[in-house]
Structure 1
Amino acid sequence: MKGLQTAILAAMIIAAPATSQDIAEGERVFQHRCASCHGLDADGNGPMAPVLLLQPTDLTQLQRGNGDDFPLKKVVWRIDGRDPLVSHGSPMPVYGDFFEGSDVTLQTASGEAIMTSQPIADLIAWIQSIQK
């Protein structure tokens, strides 16, 4: 039985898509899709911020606000819409459809695999690169 489990695990690892994240592309996606609310510097001070009921998060502080661990799963799920949100008055619009693309696997610090699209993986790489 142990040999079968090892073979299945090895097949899953081989079948998992390789993750290659492009920080420059992530910044481009951010500037095009996110900066109007989160600001050019991702500090939550975008031009739309004053008219929003809930203020945008300072994306440069995500790691600091989570015990120095980047909250990968929470951020991916918030962007792609898997985090349960109400349709109006939610902390962020659901942008999952805007970020469709090839599926990739990201891995949390605890080793959990998170499936998402390539554009979101690139965006996450850029957000991780700007943590203070």
Structure 2
Amino acid sequence: MIARLAMLCLLAAPAFAQDADIGRSHYFTHCATCHGLEGSGDGPMAGILTIPPTKLTELSIQNGGVFPVARVVKRIDGRDPLVAHGSPMPVYGGYFEGSFDVPMKTPAGQPILASQPVVDLVAYLQEIQRIE
């Protein structure tokens, strides 16, 4: 019962704005070195990674046309670590970790909590998705 009430409070809480412009800034500061300026996986550090960087512009395409919000959030904040990043991604590690106080909805309508920097970065990644 308490969990249900907490979830209702979460869903009733005012939505925090996603700011893709701030997310773009985070991307260029923390992600472009490996993922490239346009998110195509061709950053200057890509050649030395054990696992090639993901083409971030194709996340929706690779997921049946739906942006995988929960998977992306968890990969960025370290809840779903990737070996190539050293878990969490070593370039920025702690910057995207921390309080999970901003609710986001997944395409299935399920809420996921993230930090504001992650929410903003996800907003930017959603903007750069290629459409087949």
Give me the TM-score of the superposition, normalised by structure 2. 0.83
Cα displacement string for residues 91-130 of structure 1 (whole angstroms, at most 9, x for unaligned residues): 3341452124672111011111000000000000000000
Equivalent position SS for 1:18: coil
Cα distance in structure 2, aligned partners of 1:62 and 1:18: 24
1:124 is aligned to 122
Equivalent position SS for 1:106: strand
Aligned residues: CA RMSD = 2.3
Query: Quick one: structure 1 residues 79 and 11, their matched pair in 2 at CA, closer, same or farther if it must change by over 3 Å?
Result: closer
Counterpart pick for 2:110 among 109, 112, 117: 112
Alignment size in residue pairs? 123
Cα distance in structure 2, aligned partners of 1:81 and 1:98: 11
Q: Is the 8 A contact 2:58 2:129 kept in 1?
A: yes
Would you say 1:92 and 2:85 are equivalent positions? Answer: yes
1:39 is aligned to 36
Instruction: Give the number of the structure whose alpha-carbon radius of gyration is greater.
Output: 1
Would you say 1:67 and 2:61 are equivalent positions? Answer: no
Deviation at 1:59, TM superposition (A): 0.1
Cα distance in structure 2, aligned partners of 1:78 and 1:42: 15
